[in-house]
Structures are given as C-alpha cells and as structure tokens.
Amino acid sequence: MAVFVLDRHGKPLMPCSEKRARLLLERGRARVHHLIPFAIRLTDRRLVDSELQPLRLKLDPGSKETGVAIVRVTASDAGGAPVAFVLSLAEIIHRGRQISEALTARRAMRRARRGRMTRNRAARFDNRRKPEGWLAPSLRHRVETTAAWVRRFRKLAPITALSIELVRFDMQAMENPEISGVEYQQGTLLGYEVKEYLLAKLGRTCAYCDATDRPLETEHILAKANGGSNRVSNLTLACRPCNQKKGNLPLEVFLRKDPDRAKRILARAKAPLRDAAAVNATRFALLNALKSFGLPLETGSGAQTKYNRRRLDIPKSHALDAACVGNVHSVWTWQRPILRIKCAGRGSYQRTRLTAHGFARGYLMRSKRAFGFQTGDMVKAVVPSGKKAGTHIGRVAIRATGSFNIQTAAGAVQGISYKHCNLLQRGDGYGYSFITPTTKESETRGDASRRALSLPGLKAEVSRAN
C-alpha cells in the first residue's frame, strides 16, 4: 500500500511507494511520523518545494462498516474518461450495536436503583424535546467516526475532493419486491389488526408445535432482547407453553432438533431492515458533515457503484465499493491491503462492575495508567522465557499488578509483565489489522498480522523501541 508522506513542517505531500519509503528511512532523510496508518516525515523537504497531484477520498457508508478509498483520478488519453488509481484502502468497523446495548443496560440499572432507593416519581421524559436533526447515539457515532477519519486522512494526504455513495433503501420494496403504485400507501396491515392479521396469515396454528386447540400469543421470532423489532415480519403465533419455553433463545437454537421447521418459519419472515434503516437515517447527516470540509463533493448512487464494480470485475468489499463510487471509467492498482479500523472506544466512565441485578460486585482502578501504559496502547512484548516466550505485538489491557494482557492478531495473551513491554503507539480508541481484497473471506488473523508487520518502517520502529 502507499505510504503517507509529510514535509518537515507536518504538511501532507504525495504518498510514495513502500520501497521509496524504506530507502528514505535507511538514508536518514525521513523518520517515522505515525505507525498505523503508516506515515513518514521528511527532514529535508518543504511543501513549497514539492509538486502535488489532486487526490479524491471516496466513501461507501454502511450500517456496520464504512469503506474508504483514497484515489488519484486522472483523464486517460483515449476520450478523457476518468481513471482512478487506488493509493490506499480502509474499512471502518462501527460499534453502534455495542453503544445501543450499553445504553440499554445503563437505563435498566438506573431504573432499578431508583425504584429501590427513592420514592416513586412521575416520568419526566415527556417534557424533554429533541433538537432538530437529533440522532440516537449509536447513529451519531457512525457519522462522527466517519467524519473524524476523513479529517485524519486529510492531515496525511493532499485530498482535494470527496465522493460519497448517497444510497437510500426502499424499505417496502425490500419486504415486497413486487410492490407498486398505490400499494405503497396500503401497508401490510391494511384492513387488519396485528393479531387478526397473524391469525389469518398462519391459519390459527402455533408455529412451533402446530397446536390449534389452545389460545395463541404473539411471538417475536428474533427476541426484542436480541435486537428484534415489532414489525409484522418478525412476528409469528405460538401457544403459551412454546412461547415461555423459547424465551429469548435464537430460533436456530430452540429448534435445533427440527431444522426444517426453523427454515419454514424463517422463510415466512422478511429480511431484517435494521441496517437499512440506520443507513437511511444517517445519509443526510453524513452528507452535511462532509460539506463542512469545504471541498468539492461528488455523490453517487448504489446502482452506479454496483455497475462499476461488476463491469470492472472487482471483488465485493466496502473498501473496493468506495473505489467504484461516482463517475469512474476504470480502477487501477486496487490489489492492495485493506486497513481494518475497528472502533474500540476509549474505556468507560463506569468505575463499578455490576451483577445482573444491578448490585456492585467489584471496583475498577481509578487511574487509567499503570507503569507508563494505558489500556489500548499498541506495545511489543519480548518475553525471553517461560510459557509465554516469544514476541507479542498488539493492544494492551493494563492491570495495577503489572501483569498485562495483550490482544494480538492471533488471540489474547495473558499475564505479560510490564517489564517486557515497549510502547509502539499510544491508544487512540481504534484497533487495526490488515487483509487483502482477494482473500478477504478466507484469510486468517495470523496472516493479517504478518502482513501488518511487513509495512515499511514498522520494523525499524519496532527495533528502535528495543
């Protein structure tokens, strides 16, 4: 992948190849500025002495992942059609689901604590108004994280334009591909109440035991506790014994002895629309966030991206979809490692561990640092002997005792003394790994770790830390 280059004052220059970056480091003309994303800073060149070419940053926003591609767009000799040369690929893995679950748990525990420790009081949420353009924290996280990484890439490369896939999902067409005309105004429950609709649809039969001679209850196929919704497509009928027996279990687990029945029930259910709803809710907020950068902004449709990718025979991934966004005739040099940026957060304000009933079961250390390290820092630990002997590189989880845990690409290594750890990069709230576009689905985490260590300058920085 291309290496980001800065001048001696920290201004972005054109990215260079790995070979050139290695030569600059070996000859002392550059030093490591940042480990991941890897960037070097020249010691003998200024921005005014360099020539820059226009770079475009492209985005393929998604509910769980957002693809990022930095390309150099030029006009080809034949016809002047735009040609995109890919310089860097990345995928941002959001944690909106974890944020939602954490807020739900906090709300439940606070409600239980108020009920135990204070008098009963009326609800106060009715007198609180949300500002215009308000987004739930899990959705706002997607917008702010994407904008933060656009800002960070602008500090590493001379980006002069932006592109984004402005997609809108047709929720009703996803449930019923044949819908048209006035049917858009006639919902699934036209002429029915929910229970009556389910009784008519499922023949007044329990979905799990086929019972017809007992009262039936409305049952969530995917339990609400596991992220299920109240949409009709997620509802079925069940008798009380089956409903209570299933509880919050996933359908495949509850019907593991009868997989055919599980397939039939799932066939009746529609595709989940939670991810599509998240993209629809955040698309204009993200567009406005990108407009605030003051750069030329190009928007493209999802159909255009899919057409470009299929026409150019490029594998499916969020990062490569980003490279195909907008008006582009051909895409070159896309066979590059993809930087996976996983949002891990910067810790929690909560200093107390709670049981399932909301009672304290342990207290966390007040200081966020121990022995000069902080949870989330990237370290290299060289253990000379013992069961953990070897070299371990990854994110560290500190302990007040000095016995740290290191999360490597191959898994967690526990019980590493702080004396064996050397700091490589301070924690910034993200975890990093590398994959290749051609083997994205089958690649092992160990291979990704080895590819990450092959970046130029990383070995030099690791040896410098020893």
161, HSE (Cβ side, Cα atoms, 13 Å): 14
How much is the average pLDDT of 321-345?
92
Task: Encode 52-104 in three state secondary structure.
Answer: CCCEEEEEECCCCEEEEEEEEEEECCCCCCEEEEEEEEEEEECCHHHHHHHHH
Residue 329 three-state SS = coil
CATH number assigned to the domain comprising residue 333: 3.30.420.10
Asked if residue 382 lies in contact with residue 420, where contact means CB atoms within 8 angstroms, the answer is yes
**What CATH number is attached to the domain comprising 373?**
2.30.30.520
* Torsion angles phi and psi, residue 38, rounded to 5: -70, 130
Note whether residue 65 is domain-resident. Answer: yes
- Could you tell me if 280 and 161 lie in one domain? yes
pLDDT (tens digit per residue) in 110-150: 777 777 766 666 666 666 778 888 999 999 999 999 999 99
Residue 418 domain boundaries: 366-428
Q: Report d(CA 101, CA 302) in Å as an integer.
A: 30
Whether residue 100 has pLDDT greater than 60: yes
Last residue of a domain, one of 268, 295, 314: 268
- Listed range (32-46, 193-207, 272-286, 416-430) with the worst mean pLDDT: 193-207
> How much is the pLDDT for 278?
84
Other C-beta atoms within 10 Å of 186: how many?
Answer: 11
Residue 159 confidence (pLDDT): 95
* Residue 110 domain-assigned (yes or no): no
pLDDT score for 451: 40
Could you tell me the pLDDT band of residue 455, with boundaries at 50, 70 and 90? very low
**Cα distance between residue 170 and residue 280, in whole Å:** 9
Q: Look up residue 33 and give its two tokens.
A: 């500025």
28 is a domain residue: yes
Q: Are residues 60 and 158 in the same domain?
A: yes
- Name the residue with higher pLDDT: 133 or 72: 72
- What CA–CA distances, in Å, run from 208 to 243, 269, 331? 9, 14, 51
Contact present, 227 and 205 (Cβ < 8 Å): no
Tell me, what's the pLDDT at 274? Answer: 74
Whether 305 and 421 map to the same domain: the answer is no
421 and 337 in one domain? Answer: no
- For 291-332, the pLDDT digits (tens) are 999 999 999 988 889 889 989 999 989 999 999 998 888 999
**pLDDT value of position 26:** 94
- Domain count for the chain: 3
pLDDT mean over 422-438 = 86
The pTM of this model reads 0.77
Q: Are 451 and 438 in contact (CB under 8 A)?
A: no
Query: In this structure, are 286 and 264 located in the same domain?
Result: no
Phi, psi dihedrals of residue 203, rounded to the nearest 5°: 70, 30
Q: 18 and 155 share a domain?
A: yes
Q: What is the DSSP letter of 44?
A: S
Quick one: average pLDDT of 405-431?
91
pLDDT confidence band for 277 (50 / 70 / 90): confident
Cα–Cα distance for residue pair 154/133, rounded to 1 Å: 26
In a domain, 298, yes or no: yes
CA distance 432 to 130: 35
One domain, residues 300 and 415 = no
Q: Would you call 376 helix, strand, or coil by DSSP?
A: coil
Q: Which of 27-36, 180-189, 198-207, 359-368 has the lowest mean pLDDT?
A: 180-189
Same domain, 293 and 421: no
Q: How far is CA 256 from the centre of its chain?
A: 31
CA separation, residue 381 to residues 76, 298, 393, 401, 434 (Å): 49, 45, 6, 17, 20
Confidence band of 185 (pLDDT split at 50, 70, 90): low
**What's the mean pLDDT when you consider all of the chain?**
83
**The pair of three-digit structure tokens given for residue 198, joined into one six-digit string:** 């389910």
**pLDDT score, position 129:** 79
Q: 96 and 275 in contact (C-beta within 8 Å)?
A: no
Q: Say which residue, 356 or 172, is predicted with more confidence.
A: 356
At 253-269, the pLDDT tens digits run 899 888 888 888 887 76
d(CA 89, CA 79): 28
Residues 282 and 309 in one domain: yes
Omega into 54 within 30° of 0, i.e. cis? no
User: Do 339 and 370 belong to one domain?
Assistant: no
* pLDDT at residue number 453: 38
Side-chain-side CA neighbours of 103 within 13 Å: the count stands at: 10
Q: What is the pLDDT of residues 227-250, one digit of tens each?
A: 887 777 788 889 999 999 998 898
Q: Is residue 235 part of a domain?
A: yes
**Position with higher pLDDT, 363 vs 58:** 58
**Of 113, 110, 52, 18, nearest in space to 434 by CA:** 18
CATH number of the domain where residue 202 is located: 1.10.30
pLDDT digits (tens, 9 = 90+) for 433-450: 888 865 443 333 333 333
Q: Is the pLDDT of residue 463 over 70?
A: no
- Residue 3's pLDDT is 94
Looking at residue 270, what DSSP letter applies?
Answer: P
**pLDDT tens digits, one per residue of 77-89:** 556 678 899 999 9
187, pLDDT greater than 80: no
What pLDDT is recorded for position 172? 59
Same structural domain, 205 and 304:
no
Domain boundary residue among 215, 233, 268?
A: 268
Per-residue DSSP letter, 185: G
